[in-house]
Amino acid sequence: MSPVLLITGASRGIGAATAVLAAKQGWAVAVNYTRDAQAAAHVVQEIRAKGGQAQAFQADVGIEADIERLFQSIDKDMGVLGGLVNNAGVLDVTARVDTTSWERLERIMRINVLGSFACAKQAVLRMSTAHGGKGGSIVNLSSVAATLGAPGQYVDYAASKGAIDTLTVGLAKEVATEGIRVNAVRPGLILTDIHASGGIPDRANQLAHQVPMQRPGTATEVAEAIVWLLSDAASYVTGTTIDVGGGR
């Protein structure tokens, strides 16, 4: 049986590209989405058309009860979990810290930070040998913004990704002897819909001149690093973060 991989936010962008690539490598992929059922169904169809295994699961990773339901549905419908990609993430429109509302902060931290922690918790409960599991691998989506700070744009989002970097290092050490590796990928400017939610759909192209490689990256270029970290080829790699940012 194929090992089961949950990718949160896999209906579009980096998550969708990772789902397609991971299925090609033999993972049975649980494609999580929150609103866009059609986009998730499209990813599932694409995987199945190529002979892979996938199923879509609706859940908002900003809600704990949804996360518990998501993992229980995967247990029931797909089998033993072997991997998690904490990919779902949001940002808000460009703003300075001195104009940031409490509601905005709460939403970003709830989805990006609490959601990743709670999904990691559920994955560890299933995969850790200390809990009777067979081991597995977790990859978290950070951002180059965590190191740059995103001043005048979204320091809140950047800080949420700083928390992801710390989760990666701490959890990796916590479960290192329990058969679980925990790593992260730090994308730079990648061509996805996320920039539209920040109010600048063409942001990745507009800022390409700041990238040493002078171009934005593609979702598949990020997916390649994620899928490698998930794989046995990375068997001695844990607690690390790979920058996929064209040198930025």
Q: Which of 231, 216, 191, 205 is nearest to 22 (CA)?
A: 231
Taking the complex as a whole, the smallest distance from the CB of residue 115 to ligand NAP amounts, in Å, to: 6
Asked if 6 touches ligand NAP (CB under 6 A), the answer is no
Q: Which of residues 123-162 bind ligand NAP (CB under 6 A)?
A: 141, 143
Taking the complex as a whole, the smallest distance from the CB of residue 38 to ligand NAP amounts, in Å, to: 9
From 33, 154, 157, 236, the catalytic residue: 157
Asked if 227 touches ligand NAP (CB under 6 A), the answer is no
Give the residue, chosen from 192, 225, 227, 241, that forms a contact with ligand NAP under the rule CB under 6 A: 192
Asked if 213 touches ligand NAP (CB under 6 A), the answer is no
Q: Which of residues 104-123 bind ligand NAP (CB under 6 A)?
A: 111
Please choose, out of 73-81, 85-93, 171-179, 205-213, the segment that lies near ligand NAP by the rule CB under 6 A: 85-93
Residue type, 11: S
User: What b/e string do you get for 33-49 counting C-beta neighbours within 10 Å, with b at 16 or more?
Assistant: bbeeeebbebbbeebee
- Nearest to ligand NAP of 12, 126 (CB atom): 12
Q: Which of 143, 98, 92, 97 is nearest to 116 (CA)?
A: 143
Backbone angles phi, psi at 202, to 5 degrees: -95, 20
Asked if 172 touches ligand NAP (CB under 6 A), the answer is no
Asked if 183 touches ligand NAP (CB under 6 A), the answer is no
Token look-up 């709670």 returns 118
List the end-to-end C-alpha distance of the chain, in Å, as a whole number.
40
CB 145 within 8 A of CB 152: no
Biggest CA pair distance of the chain: 52
**In angstroms, rounded to a whole number, what is the distance separating the alpha carbons of residues 214 and 9?**
28
154 given a catalytic annotation? no
**In angstroms, rounded to a whole number, what is the distance separating the alpha carbons of residues 176 and 53?**
29
Q: How many residues sit in the footprint of ligand NAP (CB under 6 A)?
A: 31
Site string for ligand NAP, 52-81 (x = CB under 6 A): --------xxx-------------------
Asked if 194 touches ligand NAP (CB under 6 A), the answer is yes
Taking the complex as a whole, the smallest distance from the CB of residue 177 to ligand NAP amounts, in Å, to: 28
DSSP SS3 for 153: coil
- DSSP conformation class of 33: E
Q: Which residues are at the interface with ligand NAP (CB under 6 A)?
A: 8-15, 32-36, 39, 60-62, 87-90, 111, 141, 143, 187, 189-190, 192-194, 204
> Where in the sequence numbering do the catalytic residues fall?
157
